[in-house]
A and B are shown apart, each in its own frame.
Chain A
Amino acid sequence: MAEQKKIKVVISKVGLDGHDRGAKVVSSLLKEAGMEVVYLGMYQMPEDIIRAAIDEDADVIGISYLSGEHLVFTPKIVGEMKKHGLDDVLFIAGGVIPPEDIPALKEMGVSEIFVAGSLTEPLVEYISSHVRKR
Chain B
Amino acid sequence: MFLPRESIEQTVQKILAGDRRTAGRLITRLEDGDEWGKEVMKSLFPRTGRAMTLGLTGAGGSGKSSLLNHLIQRFRKMGKSVGVIAVDPSSPFSGGAFLGDRIRIQHHTKDDGVYIRSMASRGYLGGLARATTEVLRLMEAMGFDVVMVETLGAGQDEIDVIRLVQTCLLVITPGMGDEIQALKAGIMEIGDIFVLNKSDLDGATQALRSIEAILSLKAFKEGEWKPKVISTVATSGEGINDLVEGIMAHQDYLHNSDAMERAAFQRVEQELGLIFRDELERVIFKGLRGTGKKRRYIRSIIEGKSDPYTIVEEILGTFLKRE
Contacts and interface: CB of A to CB of B under 8 A. Distances in A.
Contacts of B225: none
A21 interface: no
Contact of B117 (A1, A56, A133): A56
B96 A37 contact: yes
Interface residues of B, number: 38
Contact of B96 (A36, A88, A134): A36
A27 interface: yes
B109 A52 contact: yes
B27 A57 contact: yes
Given A38-B118, A56-B117, A84 B21 contact: yes
The secondary structure that dominates the B interface is: mixed
Contact of A36 (B1, B21, B97): B97
A2 to B, nearest CB: 8
Given A48-B110, A88-B2, A35 B96 contact: yes
A123 to B, nearest CB: 14
B2 A134 contact: yes
A22 B3 CA distance: 33
B96 A32 contact: yes
Interface in A99-118: none
A8 B100 contact: no
B122 A39 contact: no
A72 B24 CA distance: 29
A54 B21 CA distance: 5
Contact of B118 (A44, A54, A56): A56
Contacts of A2: 33
A50 to B, nearest CB: 10
Contacts of A132: 2
A57 B24 contact: yes
A28 B91 CA distance: 11
B120 interface: yes
A52 B102 contact: yes
Interface in A25-69: 27-28, 30-41, 44-45, 47-48, 51-52, 54-57
Contacts of B3: 88
Contacts of B90: 36
Contacts of A45: 109
Contacts of A51: 109-110
B124 to A, nearest CB: 10
A133 B32 CA distance: 13
B95 A6 contact: yes
B95 A34 contact: yes
Interface of B: 1-3, 20-21, 23-25, 27-28, 31-34, 90-91, 94-100, 102-103, 106, 109-110, 115-118, 120, 122, 130, 278, 281-282
5 contacts: A1-B281, A4-B32, A27-B98, A35-B96, A51-B110
Interface of A: 1-6, 8, 27-28, 30-41, 44-45, 47-48, 51-52, 54-57, 84-85, 88, 132-134
The 9 closest A-B CB pairs, nearest first, are: A57-B24, A31-B96, A48-B109, A41-B103, A132-B2, A1-B278, A57-B28, A38-B99, A34-B96
